[in-house]
Amino acid sequence: MKVLVSDAFSSEGLEVLRKNVEVDYQPEIEPHELVDKIKQFDALVVRSRTKVTAEVIEAGKNLKVIGRAGVGVDNIDVDKATEKGIIVVNAPHGNTISAAEHAIALLTSLARNIADANRSVKQGEWKRSDFTGVELNQKTLGIIGIGRIGSEVARRARAMEMKIITYDPYISKEQAEKIGIEMVSLEDLFKQADFITLHVPMSSSTYHMIGEKEIAMMKPGVRIVNCARGGLIDEDALCRGLQEGKVAGAALDVFEQEPPGECNLLECSNVIVTPHLGALTREAQTNVALQVSEQIINALQGKQVVSAVNVPALLPETKAAIGPFLPLMKMMGSFYFQVFGGSVDEIDITYSGEIASMPFAPLTTSCLVGFLQHVVGDSVNWVNAPYITKGRGIAVREISTTAIKNYSNLVTMTARSGSEEHIISATRLNGDMRIVRVDDYRTEIIPSTYMLLITCKDQPMIVGKVGTLLGENNINIASMQSGRKKAGGTAAMALQTDEKIPDETLKKVKELDDIKSAFFLYMPKSILMDQ
């Protein structure tokens, strides 16, 4: 087996690879050379310099695995690799401490104007009072995203006697209490924090999560650290915030474009910048190199690969048995998340009927993928979903029973967070997906791309009121199903629409008399399509 390492890579990682495979180490290779040479190799190992484009992947006729020595796989065309059945692995843990320490370094530098003071002294100046700083002691640090890195930042900031508040909608209150952190809403975090640090992944829900509106909510004199991903902050809005003095300073390790080129932020004196150094320590580079090398060897030897971020197709015999249930499970996970939220400690999946005798582990994982993709974005798939779930402290149990009442197959997802519990059951009826239970409601919901789910008083006119409101807002209803606990009690209604329901329209639906709750659900084709 031959492995090409096309970026600078630690000697410890190279040693592990060389013990097992033939290694060609070319850390300076040019893009066109890479395309020419790649067909000889079974595996490619990169950091962030090499761009593993569709062209490289197409040319890699023998490629079986691509390894990224780091967390983010933004420099790899993962979709193309998946299409070609090439496993992509990363090293999610190796640089956690280094990234957390860099965030703390930026935080302290920001408080004490280290970068500007350093420049000034080197220019022969001695302007002490110009660089008067602020203490961190007793200041409020708002941490957005309390995953691996956010938690390590919290531990370190607590040692500096900062008051810590955090926003992470996917961590349960119990988990936060365990690590002794106060959870607040994002708005409250903006209003209370003296310092804000971001530790969330880049996804459609986090892109530009700090913009003009959010900066307006912040305390005057707030200081912001971003050591996660550039696109999380709208750089133009931050620039205005700094120029207007609302934001006292910002420390940025990452940029929307890297390198940032002619970015206005670089002109601001109250901005500290580093060239994406979060993971750049000897220790982290050794850790990630060792982790990724081990995964590469495992993948080449056909062993389990725990940090795969994509996956090749299912074995044909498994696919034939469980194929139709894979999208059903993914839909259930996504449905649960969109209706009940992502803060859960336990998930039970009960397989009843014929399905109970099928190999259902991939089905459970497919449900977790549907759930987790709202949390971690596209990097989750059915290879790494159980691993990510475990890392988030969520216990998953599978229960199987051949006993069944009304359906030949039924899958039930029951999830709990503390004393709160929610249940969804789904099945396939004549090949079509149906959600047949939502908590205590018996339903016949047909999942579709755009859905409005309502609970309301079980009485005449409600359907008409909702239909009229949607019609007035040019939203066409394609179909509708309803279910209830008992006549005259509470009813659940699902309406399939031809287009997205905008937030303002959803708000108006919620304000209608007798509506108890209303959710807009979006199920992209990637969830609903058979795989």
205 binds, among ligand MLT, ligand NAD, none (CB under 5 to 8 A by kind): ligand NAD
Task: Work out which of 60, 67, 150, 483 binds ligand NAD, going by CB under 6 A.
Answer: 150
**Does the annotation mark 32 as catalytic?**
no
168 binds, among ligand NAD, ligand MLT, none (CB under 5 to 8 A by kind): ligand NAD
Which residues neighbour 68 within 8 Å (Cβ) at sequence distance 6 or greater? 46, 47, 75, 76, 88, 89, 90, 91, 292
Task: Work out which of 52, 149, 268, 515 binds ligand NAD, going by CB under 6 A.
Answer: 149
User: Is residue 495 within 8 Å of 466, Cβ to Cβ?
Assistant: yes
Name the residue nearer to ligand NAD (CB basis): 310 or 409.
310
CB of 338 to ligand NAD, least distance (A): 14
20-49 positions binding ligand MLT, by CB under 6 A? 47-48
**Does the annotation mark 276 as catalytic?**
yes
**Contact call for residue 145 and ligand MLT (CB under 6 A):** no
Active-site residue among 47, 102, 276, 374? 276
**Contact call for residue 96 and ligand MLT (CB under 6 A):** no
**Contact call for residue 281 and ligand MLT (CB under 6 A):** no
Whole-number Å distance between alpha carbons of 501 and 98: 43
Whole-number Å distance between alpha carbons of 138 and 121: 30
128-147 positions binding ligand NAD, by CB under 6 A? 144-147
| Residue 192 identity | Q
Name the residue nearer to ligand NAD (CB basis): 295 or 425.
295
Q: Phi and psi of 228, rounded to 5°?
A: -105, -80
Task: Work out which of 71, 268, 297, 415 binds ligand MLT, going by CB under 6 A.
Answer: 71
| Residue 90 identity | N
What mask of x and - would describe binding to ligand NAD in positions 178 to 217, judged by CB under 6 A?
Answer: ---------------------xxxx--xx-----------
CB of 169 to ligand NAD, least distance (A): 6
Active-site residue among 68, 102, 223, 229? 229
Largest distance between two CA atoms of the chain: 84
Pick the closest to residue 75 from 95, 62, 57 (CA basis). 57
| Residue 177 identity | E
CB of 96 to ligand NAD, least distance (A): 6
Whole-number Å distance between alpha carbons of 149 and 161: 19
Single out the segment in contact with ligand MLT by CB under 6 A; choices: 70-78, 122-130, 344-352, 501-509: 70-78
Name the residue nearer to ligand MLT (CB basis): 72 or 386.
72
147 binds, among ligand NAD, ligand MLT, none (CB under 5 to 8 A by kind): ligand NAD
Which residues neighbour 377 within 8 Å (Cβ) at sequence distance 6 or greater? 201, 202, 203, 204, 205
Q: What is the DSSP string of 204-218?
A: TTTTT-BSHHHHHHS
Name the residue nearer to ligand NAD (CB basis): 206 or 285.
206
Q: Phi and psi of 46, rounded to 5°?
A: -135, 165
**Does the annotation mark 229 as catalytic?**
yes
Name the residue nearer to ligand NAD (CB basis): 107 or 363.
107
Whole-number Å distance between alpha carbons of 51 and 299: 21
* DSSP E strand boundaries for 382-514: 395-401, 409-417, 420-429, 432-438, 441-445, 450-457, 477-484, 490-497
Task: Work out which of 29, 146, 279, 308 binds ligand MLT, going by CB under 6 A.
Answer: 279
Whole-number Å distance between alpha carbons of 344 and 416: 5
Pick the closest to residue 445 from 454, 456, 435 (CA basis). 435
Catalytic residues: 229, 258, 276
Which residues in this chain contact ligand NAD in the complex, by CB under 6 A?
A: 71-72, 95-96, 99, 144-150, 167-171, 199-202, 205-206, 227-229, 253-254, 276, 278-279, 375-376
- Residues at the site binding ligand MLT, with contacts judged by CB under 6 A: 47-48, 70-72, 95, 278-279
